């Protein structure tokens, strides 16, 4: 499963208290991952706000709904990844550990798994086709990977959890185990050793952030000492968030530029939302801390860097079908999910100032990962065109960035035709700075592709409403 990335369940204390029948999910994660997300699914749905606004009912109507971070059906989810911090945080490896509800089994989900179930060393293993595997570890945990390599999950399963418990880096261990952290949703990324002060200082001096070069030099040393970033989201009577950037040195010198710094860091790691701009930011010792309200749907976007594993969508799908008309019910959930994801992407792009390709690729993968069993064929064709369009827009943006980097005066030409038929004009940009030309070409692609996505959405909703006689 391509989106077999990251979200987790249960605070660290909650995980340990989950019961003798379940192992500590943290102990299953490999030691060399550098990012973890956790969601205490049960606690989210029990919160006063979720009860008041009926999140459980809304979750039953869509695989991906506006508020829920993960569909119901699991008590805890822990997801970790080894991110390439130099390449738009692409995941080299992804692992997810789930504690499903007691009544669930892979056998009950078999109809929703593209591949067959099999037994490995006495444990049930389910195949998601080219998208990965899910295994029942037999200790109350399910393991999933986003790799189609069977060897990966079988070896992970046979190696078992670490007997000593948590084997993660010190930063991730501290982030997960903080006793004063009551957030049901947590994202932590270990950034230690990822930045070079020598490379940073040149970039800082090219900005107007600091009045003197010596100040820029000192700031570069602080940034080089970065330990990591943690974002926690608490759902109670409302939604509140807290983000902490941890450094190895006193960060006081960053205080005058803290807002600009936070924006640059968040854009780099692909976390973009208007919420962060409204938070109050301060520097306290070695930490840069931001706190503030989280808008509806904002929590999911804040931690979208670590998507929930696709098995959670299969769990949601299995409870959606009815004997009366499973295609109508599941197609409606699928349609609403596509709309929510497109809405989220618009919000991300609205807040982002660069790194657009990262968002397009991320949401194309989210759409592709939605369950397809009992979904109308015409709706699947539409979603396939949408995800292809998003990947095309990402490719166009990357080409624009590459050409802008060269700063040549050669004509810009994308050389590609989009899935909705748009083609970039040849020869654009002659004699003009290529970066401005490339950005304009990418904007033209986005405008054309989004218009046709919107038109296609209106058309497919009308067709599905007429066909099934329920409002899509």
Cβ contacts of 48-54, under 8 Å, gap ≥ 24: 48/236, 48/237, 49/235, 49/236, 49/237, 49/238, 49/239, 50/235
For residue 87, the model assigns a pLDDT of 65
Across all residues in the chain, what is the average pLDDT? 78
Q: Please tell me the distance from the alpha carbon of residue 113 to that of residue 109, in angstroms, as a whole number.
A: 7
Q: Where are the domains of the chain?
A: 1-319, 325-468
Smallest CA-to-CA distance from 245 within 233, 255, 234, 231 is with 231
Q: Please tell me the distance from the alpha carbon of residue 402 to that of residue 328, in angstroms, as a whole number.
A: 45
For residue 109, the model assigns a pLDDT of 79
Q: How many CB atoms lie within 10 A of CB 166?
A: 16
Region 203-215 average pLDDT? 86
For residue 290, the model assigns a pLDDT of 92
For residue 310, the model assigns a pLDDT of 67
Task: Give 238-294 pLDDT, tens digit per residue.
Answer: 999 999 999 999 999 999 888 888 877 776 666 656 777 789 999 999 999 999 998
Residue 397, SS3? helix
Q: Are 265 and 245 in contact (CB under 8 A)?
A: yes
Q: Please tell me the distance from the alpha carbon of residue 217 to that of residue 204, in angstroms, as a whole number.
A: 8
**pTM of the predicted model over 0.85:** no
For residue 2, the model assigns a pLDDT of 38
Q: How many CB atoms lie within 10 A of CB 153?
A: 23
Smallest CA-to-CA distance from 93 within 221, 5, 203 is with 5
Poorest-pLDDT segment among 60-74, 208-222, 442-456: 60-74
Task: Give 30-69 pLDDT, tens digit per residue.
Answer: 888 999 989 888 888 899 988 888 887 777 666 665 555 5
pLDDT of 433 strictly over 90:
no
For residue 438, the model assigns a pLDDT of 56
Region 288-304 average pLDDT? 81
For residue 268, the model assigns a pLDDT of 66
Cβ contacts of 290-295, under 8 Å, gap ≥ 24: 290/241, 290/242, 290/243, 290/244, 290/262, 291/240, 291/241, 291/242, 291/243, 292/240, 292/241, 293/238, 293/239, 293/240, 293/241, 294/233, 294/239, 294/240, 294/241, 295/239
pLDDT of 135 strictly over 50:
yes
Task: Give 361-392 pLDDT, tens digit per residue.
Answer: 888 988 887 878 788 999 999 999 999 999 99
């Amino acid at each position: 499963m391509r989106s077999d990335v990251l979200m987790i369940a249960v605070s660290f204390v909650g995980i340990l208290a989950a019961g003798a029948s379940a192992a500590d999910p943290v102990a299953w994660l490999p030691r060399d991952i550098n990012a973890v997300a956790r969601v205490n699914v049960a606690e989210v749905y029990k919160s006063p706000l979720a009860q008041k606004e009926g999140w459980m009912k809304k979750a039953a109507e869509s695989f991906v709904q506006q508020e829920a971070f993960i569909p119901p059906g699991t008590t805890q989810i822990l997801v970790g990844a080894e991110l390439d911090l130099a390449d738009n945080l692409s995941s080299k490896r992804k692992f997810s550990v789930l504690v499903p509800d007691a009544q669930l089994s892979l056998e009950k989900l078999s109809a929703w798994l593209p591949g067959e179930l099999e037994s490995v060393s006495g444990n049930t293993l389910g195949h998601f086709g080219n998208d990965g595997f899910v295994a029942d570890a037999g200790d109350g945990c399910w393991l999933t990977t986003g790799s189609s390599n069977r060897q990966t999950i079988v070896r992970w399963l046979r190696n078992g959890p670490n007997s000593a418990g948590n084997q993660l880096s010190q930063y991730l261990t501290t982030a997960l185990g903080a006793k004063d952290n009551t957030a049901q949703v947590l994202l932590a990324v270990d950034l230690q050793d990822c930045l070079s002060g020598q490379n940073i200082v040149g970039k800082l001096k090219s900005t107007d952030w600091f009045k003197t070069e010596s100040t820029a030099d000192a700031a570069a040393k602080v940034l080089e000492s970065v330990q990591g970033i943690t974002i926690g989201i608490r759902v109670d009577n409302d939604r509140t968030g807290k983000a902490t950037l941890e450094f190895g040195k006193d960060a006081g010198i960053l205080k005058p530029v803290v807002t600009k710094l936070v924006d640059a860091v968040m854009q780099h790691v692909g976390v973009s939302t208007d919420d962060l701009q409204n938070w109050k930011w301060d520097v306290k010792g070695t930490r840069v801390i931001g706190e503030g309200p989280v808008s509806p749907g904002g929590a999911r976007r804040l931690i979208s860097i670590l998507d929930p594993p696709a098995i959670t969508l299969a769990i949601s799908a299995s409870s959606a079908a009815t004997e009366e008309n499973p295609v109508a019910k599941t197609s409606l959930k699928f349609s609403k999910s596509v709309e929510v994801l497109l809405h989220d992407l618009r919000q991300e792009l609205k807040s982002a100032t660069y790194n657009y390709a990262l968002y397009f690729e991320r949401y194309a993968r989210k759409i592709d990962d939605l369950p397809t069993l009992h979904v109308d064929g015409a709706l699947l064709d539409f979603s396939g065109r949408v995800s292809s369009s998003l990947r095309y827009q990402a490719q166009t943006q990357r080409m624009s960035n590459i050409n802008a980097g060269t700063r040549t005066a050669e004509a810009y030409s994308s050389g590609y035709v989009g899935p909705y038929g748009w083609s970039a004009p040849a020869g654009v940009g002659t004699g003009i700075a290529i970066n401005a030309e490339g950005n304009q070409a990418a904007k033209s692609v986005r405008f054309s592709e989004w218009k046709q996505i919107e038109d296609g959405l209106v058309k497919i909703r009308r067709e599905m409403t007429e066909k099934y006689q329920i409002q899509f």
